[in-house]
Amino acid sequence: MIWLALVMASVMLPTAAHANGRPPLTTGVFFQPNDNQSLYVRSTFGLLISHDAGCSFRWVCEQSLGYAATFDPKYAIAADGTLFATTYNGLRVSRDGGCSFTTATAELAPGAPGRIANLWVDALDIGPTGEVWVATADTTPNDVLRSTDGGVTFVSRGMVSPVLSWKSLAVARSDAMHVYVAGYQVATAPPTAQLFSTINGGQSWTQAALAGVQFAATPIVTIAAIDATNPKYLYIVSVGANGSGDRLYRSTDGGVTFAEVLATAQPITGVVIRDAMTVLVASGDGTVRSADGGVTFGPATTAPRLGCLGKRPDGSLIGCAANWDPDFMAVARSDDASQWQKLFRFVEFAGPLTCPPGTTGHDMCDQQLWPGLRSQFGVTGPTCGTATDLPGVDGAEVMPIKAGRGCCDAGDRSPIGLGLLTWLTAWMLGRRGDRRVPRDRTLGR
């Protein structure tokens, strides 16, 4: 009877804490170039931002970002801190640290060249020299576009297609003109996956044959990683091509040929090229490591089973782990993936992003939604240092700092509050043994 009571009580929880019917998870990590202090972590209930290397995090609600339901945006951060997020209704841009967002090109008339407002932007990357690349996956003809003015205007790069939905895009870190884009075509029988590359910034494109690549019924490939020094070395993931898991393929010739190097029983959630010989892959199976340049893989660690994996500018690893049992760390750090340290748990939130009145970050996230989220997580504040306010205003509330706790302390493992226990109970009953890694297809690079 107590289980039934808990489940019924969960219906009464504030909507902000329900994570749109999904468990509260971290699902992606993104970085600002040349900034080892800033972390941007995607979750099932909004965006988490830290500017002190993960010691304290502040929350940006989904409503401010301009999406809802079970959508998971893809993020990119420019060198000047401009924040970009994909949505079903265009590319959202924040130039004030996340307090307010606008939709890129919304000022243009419908149908105008370069207008991506109100289109599903599903692929995003920023090149090493600052160009913003996007690709669309809408019901109208889709295209790959580039901005050279920080996302103010966009110009087509010659990949307009009435039948393809572009799902993944990546720019080589060593060559801003070397770009890969992947999509799928459903107007054929059977549907087909397609991968293209350009070495001249989109003046011309070359289609990859994808010979020998196995696909799921819906053939989707994503560009998982490009080598930082050689743009012809890349990895792609064939989504769902191994039952409930994925298949990882490696190319050393710019996509002319691919070789399968790994098949996982659960979805791949991150691929990181550490150096010329070391490649790490995270999935629901655990993290595996290659010491021979990605030719073969062996276990790195079985825990935590990461929902994301990314490499910070200084080379250290950041991962998304389970906030509760068994990992007790929503955001984790490692030097080599063999051992992980906690950076952050949800109970340690510093609060919502500190924003001035009149912004959605203040009026919606802070004033309306944060009290419910704080109550459900039983927030007590960061465990190290003083919480860093992002664009700050005088008089902002700073959660108390716990005495005697280090930034990577993994204590405080008891459930926080009846509301949180209710929430977790409902989740556990609903998932029926499904492991924590969500079926998200954005891979950290």
- Higher-pLDDT residue of 84, 301: 84
- Higher-pLDDT residue of 264, 417: 264
Q: Which pLDDT tens digit goes with each residue over 65-78?
A: 998 888 899 999 99
pLDDT of residue 218: 93
Q: How many Å is the Cα radius of gyration of the chain?
A: 21
Distance CA 399, CA 407 (A): 15
pLDDT of residue 70: 86
Q: Look at residue 47 and tell me whether its pLDDT is greater than 80.
A: yes
Which pLDDT band holds residue 383 (cuts at 50, 70, 90)?
A: confident
Which pLDDT band holds residue 322 (cuts at 50, 70, 90)?
A: very high
- Higher-pLDDT residue of 84, 285: 84
Q: Look at residue 197 and tell me whether its pLDDT is greater than 90.
A: yes
Which pLDDT band holds residue 301 (cuts at 50, 70, 90)?
A: confident
Q: What is the mean pLDDT of residues 104-130?
A: 96
Q: Look at residue 427 and tell me whether its pLDDT is greater than 90.
A: no
Which pLDDT band holds residue 126 (cuts at 50, 70, 90)?
A: very high
pLDDT of residue 140: 81
pTM of the full predicted structure?
0.85
- Higher-pLDDT residue of 395, 121: 121
Question: Cβ contacts of residue 171 below 8 Å, gap of 6+?
Answer: 125, 126, 127, 128, 131, 133, 178, 179, 226
Q: Look at residue 211 and tell me whether its pLDDT is greater than 90.
A: yes
Which pLDDT band holds residue 395 (cuts at 50, 70, 90)?
A: very low
Q: What is the mean pLDDT of residues 396-414?
A: 37
pLDDT of residue 69: 80
What is the CB-side half-sphere exposure of residue 280 using CA atoms within 13 A?
A: 28
Q: Which pLDDT tens digit goes with each residue over 227-253?
A: 999 999 999 999 999 999 999 999 999
pLDDT of residue 397: 40
Which of 106-110, 225-229, 277-281, 413-417 comes out lowest in average pLDDT? 413-417
Q: What is the mean pLDDT of residues 300-305?
A: 88
Residue type, 291: A
Q: Look at residue 117 and tell me whether its pLDDT is greater than 80.
A: yes
Q: What's the mean per-residue pLDDT of the chain? A: 86
- The 3 state secondary structure assigned to the chain is CHHHHHHHHHCCCCHHHHHHHCCCCEEEEEECCCCCCCEEEEECCEEEEECCCCCCCEEECHHHHCCCCCCCCCEEECCCCCEEEEECCEEEEECCCCCCCEECCCCCCCCCCCCCCCCCEEEEEECCCCCEEEEECCCCCECEEEECCCCCCCEECCCCECCEEEEEEEECCCCCCCEEEEEEECCCCCCEEEEEEECCCCCCCEECCCCCCCCCCCCCEEEEEECCCCCCCEEEEEEEEECCEEEEEEECCCCCCCEEEEECCCCEEEEEECCCCCEEEEECCEEEEECCCCCCCEEEECCCCCCEEEECCCCCEEEECCCCCCCCCCEEEECCCCCCEEEECHHHCCEECCCCCCCHHHHHHHHHHHHHHHHHHCCCCCCCCCCCCCCCCCCCCCCCCCCCCCCCCCCCCCCCHHHHHHHHHHHHHHHCCCCCCCCCCCCEC
Q: Look at residue 393 and tell me whether its pLDDT is greater than 50.
A: no
Which pLDDT band holds residue 385 (cuts at 50, 70, 90)?
A: low
